[in-house]
């Protein structure tokens, strides 16, 4: 039986970004529904490491992205405090710092080049010799060429973040429909007035938010002209666990080829490969081998850890690595996609921007 509903916003996508958008819209008094074909946490959120690391993720030629990520990192503690108070759920947020290690001379040369850029921008990062690095992380490999310490970097557990967002949405009375596929946009000329689901439900809204991550560029229910230039970039990731329940490091550790993120409960996340494989999410022996090899080169104690899970997800890439946040090609369509490696970090900022953008949109009759 079909259903016709009127909302201020329908959010298509139940990952961290879609849930943040829905929560911020609801906090402003909007009536919202979230739709996802999977059970949240959906998409890349389910397999994300949760690094909040704008300094360590700095790349040459991306000043606009750096401004966004620094602003997002600065605002994150306040966002977490508000969300945890509203939901009663801990997100696993921890400002633990990060240590980027050069395992050989070539890596040291590149890391020093990045560090010079960090220093020129006034970012909080310090070059440390091996002895100082080992004082911070005694489990590091015996031989390496120094590292860069970024003490303000942080991490959050994306799955717990999603759990907190779902609880907060429930407190706001927001409906989250999982296992629901959008099959058609409800169009009136150049305006989108909501979506039609596979169950035949018409969800009409003043604003439709596209937050489907790597699938945003191939949303068959949107006209070609309205699909954003987003492509999937595969990433494989591992979850490890120590027998004694304590992670072998206390901060984010990274080399040129791997990063390790400790969780408060003793788990360790190792990621992540970067593969242009379309929508393939196969976990491969080669990908697992690469991650374990590079993790062992950096932190030998990982050899004694239990391999709990190997996963693959799809990052939403864009041509210029910048996210797409704001009005789309149709009136009433708002984009919240294309965040590539920074989805968890930028989710709160994206949600706030989208909520501000659509604050004046009238609810559909």
Map 161-225 to HEC letters.
HHHHHHHHHHHCCCEEEECCCEEEEEEECCEEEEEEECCCCEEEEEEEEECCHHHHHHCCCCCHH
At residue 360, the pLDDT reads 60
pLDDT at 40: 84
pLDDT the model gives residue 2? 42
Residue pLDDT, tens place only, 26-64: 999 999 999 999 988 878 998 999 999 999 999 999 999
CA distance 94 to 92: 6
At residue 4 the predicted structure's pLDDT band, cuts being 50, 70 and 90, is: low
The reported pTM is 0.95
Q: Return the percentage of the chain with pLDDT > 70, whole number.
A: 97
CA-to-CA dists, residue 188 to 69, 116, 216, 331, 340, angstroms: 37, 53, 21, 10, 32
Please write the tens of the pLDDT for every residue from 301-339.
999 999 999 999 999 999 999 999 999 999 999 999 999
Q: Is residue 259 predicted with pLDDT exceeding 90?
A: yes
For residue 240, pLDDT beyond 70: yes
Comparing 2-6, 43-47, 279-283, the range with the smallest average pLDDT is 2-6
Owner of token pair 């062992």: 296
Read off the pLDDT of residues 87-144 as tens digits, 9 standing for 90 and up: 999 999 999 999 999 999 999 999 999 999 999 999 999 999 999 999 999 999 999 9
Query: Integer distance in angstroms from the first to the last C-alpha of the chain?
Result: 20
Domains detected in the chain: 4-69+159-230+319-358 (3.50.50.60), 96-152+231-317 (3.30.9.10)
Residue 3 has pLDDT above 60, yes or no: no
Whole-number pLDDT of residue 180? 92
Local confidence band at 362 (pLDDT 50, 70, 90 cut-offs): very low
**What is the average pLDDT value for the chain, to the nearest integer?**
95
Residue with the larger pLDDT of the pair 266 and 41:
266
DSSP string computed for 19-85: HHHHHHHHHTT--EEEEESSPSS-GGGGG---EE-TTTT--TT-HHHHHHHHHHHHHHHHHHHHHHH
Confidence class of residue 261 from pLDDT cuts 50, 70 and 90?
very high
Give the torsion through C-alpha atoms of 170, 175, 181, 185, to 10 deg.
Answer: -130
Q: Which two tokens mark 178?
A: 């999982």
pLDDT for 264: 87
Query: pLDDT tens-digit profile of 183-218?
Result: 999 999 999 999 999 999 999 999 999 999 999 999
Query: CA–CA separation, 319 vs 317, rounded Å?
Result: 7
Residue 144: the pLDDT is: 97
pLDDT band at 6 (very low <50, low <70, confident <90, very high): confident
Contacts 24+ apart (CB under 8 A), 282-287: 282/312, 283/236, 283/310, 283/311, 283/312, 284/236, 287/236, 287/312
């Amino acid at each position: 039986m079909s259903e016709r509903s009127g909302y201020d916003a329908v959010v298509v996508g139940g990952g961290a970004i879609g849930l943040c958008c829905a929560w911020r819209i609801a906090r402003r008094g909007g009536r919202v529904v979230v739709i996802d074909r999977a059970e949240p946490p959906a998409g890349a959120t389910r397999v994300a490491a949760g690094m909040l690391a704008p300094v360590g993720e700095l790349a040459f030629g991306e000043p606009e992205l750096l401004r966004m990520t620094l602003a997002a990192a600065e605002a994150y503690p306040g966002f977490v405090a508000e969300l945890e108070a509203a939901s009663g759920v801990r997100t696993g947020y921890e400002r633990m710092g990060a240590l980027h290690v050069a395992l050989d001379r070539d890596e040291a040369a590149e890391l020093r080049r990045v560090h010079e850029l960090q220093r020129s921008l006034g970012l909080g990062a310090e070059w440390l010799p091996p002895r100082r690095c080992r004082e911070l992380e005694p489990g590091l490999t015996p031989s390496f060429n120094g590292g860069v310490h970024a003490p303000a970097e942080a991490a959050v557990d994306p799955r717990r973040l999603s759990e907190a967002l779902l609880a907060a949405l429930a407190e706001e009375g927001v409906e989250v429909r999982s296992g629901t596929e959008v099959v058609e946009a409800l169009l009136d000329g150049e305006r989108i007035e909501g979506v039609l689901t596979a169950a035949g439900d018409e969800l009409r809204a003043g604003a439709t938010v596209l937050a489907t991550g790597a699938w945003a560029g191939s949303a068959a229910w949107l006209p070609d002209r309205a699909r954003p230039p987003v492509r999937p970039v595969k990433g494989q990731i591992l979850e490890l666990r120590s027998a004694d329940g304590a992670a072998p490091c206390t901060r984010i550790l990274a080399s040129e080829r791997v990063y390790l993120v400790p969780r408060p409960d003793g788990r360790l996340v190792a990621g992540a490969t970067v593969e242009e494989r379309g929508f393939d999410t196969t976990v491969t022996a080669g990908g697992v081998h690469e991650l374990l090899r590079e993790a062992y080169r950096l932190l030998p104690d990982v050899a004694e850890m239990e391999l709990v899970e190997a996963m693959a997800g799809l990052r939403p890439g864009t041509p210029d690595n910048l996210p797409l946040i704001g009005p789309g090609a149709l009136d009433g369509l708002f984009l919240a996609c294309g965040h590539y490696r920074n989805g968890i970090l930028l989710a709160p900022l994206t949600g706030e921007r989208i909520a501000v953008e659509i604050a004046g949109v009238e609810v559909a009759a």
